[in-house]
Structure 1
């Protein structure tokens, strides 16, 4: 649908009479309410007569002046003023659930690491000595996808040993990643 001169005149007339965008769209056919609203704003017709003025039968709507298309100007960017005092007291203790650690910094001990049995950790340490140490691009559905190290450093790799049937990890890493529900429940108490 294109906005012909006749359709634009009908739009201006109905808009001036106080008709809703939905009513205008229905009358014109082939356009949506949003298309009508967009055209009204592009034509500069956004100022409407009040509801009381539109209800008067003898009040004539003035034809809208012909508006030349406006050339868009680049928005003026205003730099925000810099505050000289900090927004938050640097000595204040702010409780948070997550701590943001910059790349390359060692991660703090994870709570789940304390819950893993010493036998499972010993097995994982032994397996990681035998690991293939593969990169992300070398992973397949048959290789253990257990990440080792910090991803932000060069010394980051994946285990790469054969996976346990139906699992994404090798036998040792499955023992760490998937723990029985009763064992987890008992540790919480």
Structure 2
């Protein structure tokens, strides 16, 4: 179905009267709502008055906004199931490791290391005294025995496999509900 001049005139008239694209498609017949919208767009027929505002007899009154009670987004104290497992210490634990004292003559840079040298870095890479351990490494590992013990920690047991922790329960929480109601 093509857009003849008569159909375009009817479309323009119905559009200016405020009919919807579905209503216009129904009156024209043989076209879809989207075809009507596309033709209106190509013709530049936007800017019509909507029927809902024209037909309303009563004026719109603004409703004064009242202060509604809003839910606090932070009402929940967090995951209570894991709270008993978390015990913040006063100071975070910083492990103290003893470092091997490498004589100056044995200190090597990365370019000076051999295949059998321990590759444990010592010091700050930005400083001129940065070096590597250079002791004999453990076969199959990049480090000597001392640094291999520091680098590779045995796996910790999983949380589910650990024995349950004792949690202190307040005295009021230990009474059954029925006893609380009768008291």
Q: Same fold (TM over 0.5)?
A: no
Shorter-chain TM range is: 0.3 to 0.5
TM-score, structure 1 as length reference: 0.31
Q: Find the structure with the greater CA-based Rg.
A: 2
Larger relative contact order (Cα-Cα within 8 Å, sequence gap ≥ 6): 1
> Normalising by the residue count of structure 2, what TM-score does the alignment of the two structures yield?
0.32
